[in-house]
């Protein structure tokens, strides 16, 4: 991989998986629910998509396994954001805010945090 | 919870586990329970089937994980497995021929012919072929060597005692080439996944079905003189094997590559065994076929390699 080349834009499901973990670690189904909430029901992750994304994000070091517990005889794993994951999410939010500014004009999006654009639309 | 609600939940869970079979076994052992749990939570209560969207995403993710797993092991291991798969498909010709002969004789009421000395030896060789296949598939090269040695001993002693060459021909044509490939390429650490066993299984099943349907059971039509390159696949049943191998290209090149390998090898061996090397197909056609299939396989490997970046890597 070439140094200095910027990362390609994050895909929307990936973005919302990371955003779902902003407030703290969650388990699989909770991530799906939270991503749906945050996107006003637009991003409905299917189970297969969620675990494909989690596998990739874990391999990239953006997400980590936080705890494992046994619920009703079944293992339930909780995932959390790593520092690298937070940084990637923030970078993506800044990128989107800059792109938005091109169209909507100067906004306070970058000052109020990564989810500001979402708050603006609701 | 009501009785029916309980059985719905059971059925849903059984179906969820069935869908999870799209994932490789190693992945399933690690994440299967967790994914099942999430899928059950994501399914609205009262349903006994996961929503179609969930099912489709699970199968797609499972196939992607399979593709990633088969690419992660590297080219050398893939080539070894392709050789083992191809040799296995080649080897099942022998049990298929034996089965076909038994069905043929039974239909015509020639039952006594089925229990002669020669026939018993033939069945023994067919059985040894299956043991050899199992040994090689699981990477037990020691057992494969012992089985191959037993087949050689049987064929040689028959030749010495009866002064007939029939079993030596069977040995040289059907058991020898795959046994050599197995001994050279089978590795315990790099054995083909159990899911690829369907290919020799399907080839054997296709030959069995063809023999019950009344046509001659030769899997590759290797024993008839007037064959062309495609004639073995004219029987519908063999076409099914080919079709499944082509569909499997979505995640894996190995089945089709193995089939092409087995087919080409059977043509070459048949040609030499009957003193008409490649007589039925011109060398140009064979060379073209081999080149085209290799080019096709390389293109696919390249294509799939490019797509690995988008594939999940199983956590171990």
Here the CATH number for the domain that contains residue A109 is 1.10.10.10
Integer CA distances (angstroms), B10 to A26, A101, B14, B19, B209, in order = 26, 52, 6, 14, 36
Residues of chain B with pLDDT under 50: 1-4, 217-234, 278-279, 309-316
Query: Does residue A3 lie in a domain region?
Result: no
Q: Tell if the CB–CB gap between B57 and A58 is shorter than 8 Å.
A: no
B313·A46 Cβ contact <8 A: no
Tell me, what's the pLDDT at A34?
A: 92
pLDDT (0 to 100) of residue A63: 92
Contact status of A71 with chain B (Cβ, < 8 Å): yes
Contact B197/B137 with Cβ under 8 angstroms? yes
Domain assignment present for residue A71? The answer is yes
B97: closest CA among B58, B137, B135, B129? B129
pTM: 0.65
A96 lies in a domain? Answer: yes
Give the residue among B199, B159, B220, B151 at the shortest CA–CA distance from B179: B151
Residue A1 covered by a domain: no
Instruction: Residue B72: count other Cβ atoms within 10 Å of its Cβ.
Output: 12
Extract the tokens encoding A14: 């990936």
- What is the pairing mode between strands A26-27 and A63-71? unpaired
Contact B57 A48 (CB under 8 A): yes
| B217: three-class secondary structure by DSSP | coil
Question: What average pLDDT score do residues A93-119 get?
Answer: 70
**Interchain CB distance below 8 Å, A51 and B41:** no
DSSP letter, residue B78: H
Cα angle for residues B148, B152, B157 (degrees, 5° grid): 150
CB proximity under 8 Å: B 54-73 to A: 54, 56-62, 64-65
A86, A53, A5: which is closest to B310 by C-alpha?
A53
Using CA atoms, how far residue A76 sits from A27, A53, B35, B55, B164, in Å, is 7, 17, 9, 20, 67
Residue B289 near residue B229 (C-beta atoms within 8 A): yes
Q: Is residue A76 part of a domain?
A: yes
pLDDT per position as a tens digit, B243-300: 777 777 777 778 888 888 887 777 677 666 665 554 455 555 666 666 677 777 777 7
Question: Which residues constitute the domain of residue A77?
Answer: 12-121
Q: How far apart are CA A60 and CA B62, in angstroms?
A: 20
A13 against B276, higher pLDDT: A13
How many domains, chain A?
A: 1
Which residues from B are below 8 Å from A59, CB to CB?
Answer: 312-313, 315
């Amino acid at each position: 991989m070439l140094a200095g080349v910027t990362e390609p834009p994050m895909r929307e499901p990936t973005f919302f998986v990371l955003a779902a973990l902003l407030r703290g670690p969650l388990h699989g189904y909770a991530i799906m629910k939270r991503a749906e909430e945050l996107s006003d029901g637009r991003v409905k992750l299917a189970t297969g998509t969620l675990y494909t994304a989690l596998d990739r994000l874990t391999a990239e070091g953006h997400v980590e396994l936080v705890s494992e517990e046994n619920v009703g005889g079944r293992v339930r794993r909780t995932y959390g954001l790593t520092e690298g994951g937070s940084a990637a999410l923030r970078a993506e939010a800044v990128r989107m805010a800059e792109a938005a500014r091109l169209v909507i004009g100067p906004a306070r999006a970058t000052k109020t945090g990564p989810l500001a654009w979402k708050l603006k639309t609701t | 919870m009501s009785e029916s609600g309980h059985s719905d939940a059971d059925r849903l869970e059984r179906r969820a586990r069935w869908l999870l079979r799209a994932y490789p076994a190693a992945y399933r052992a690690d994440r299967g329970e967790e994914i099942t749990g999430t899928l059950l939570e994501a399914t609205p209560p009262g349903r006994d089937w996961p929503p179609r969207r969930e099912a489709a995403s699970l199968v797609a993710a499972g196939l992607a994980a399979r593709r990633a797993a088969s690419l992660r092991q590297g080219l050398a291991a893939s080539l070894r497995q392709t050789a083992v798969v191809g040799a296995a498909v080649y080897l099942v010709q022998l049990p298929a021929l034996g089965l076909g002969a038994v069905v043929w004789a039974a239909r015509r009421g020639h039952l006594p012919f089925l229990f002669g000395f020669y026939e018993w030896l033939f069945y023994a060789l067919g059985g040894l072929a299956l043991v050899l296949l199992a040994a090689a598939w699981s990477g037990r090269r020691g057992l494969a060597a012992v089985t191959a040695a037993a087949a050689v001993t049987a064929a040689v002693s028959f030749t010495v005692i009866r002064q007939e060459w029939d079993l030596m021909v069977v040995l040289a044509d059907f058991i020898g080439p795959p046994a050599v490939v197995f001994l050279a390429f089978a590795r315990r650490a790099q054995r083909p996944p159990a899911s690829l066993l369907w290919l020799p299984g399907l080839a054997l099943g296709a030959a069995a079905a063809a023999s019950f349907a009344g046509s001659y059971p030769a899997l590759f039509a290797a024993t008839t003189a007037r064959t062309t390159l495609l004639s073995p696949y004219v029987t519908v049943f063999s076409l099914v094997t080919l079709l499944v191998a082509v569909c499997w290209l979505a995640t894996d090149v190995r089945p089709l590559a193995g089939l092409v390998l087995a087919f080409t090898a059977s043509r070459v061996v048949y040609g030499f065994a009957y003193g008409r090397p490649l007589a039925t197909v011109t060398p140009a056609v064979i060379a073209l076929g081999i080149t085209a299939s290799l080019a096709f396989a390389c293109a696919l490997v390249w294509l799939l390699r490019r797509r690995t970046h988008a594939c999940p890597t199983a956590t171990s």
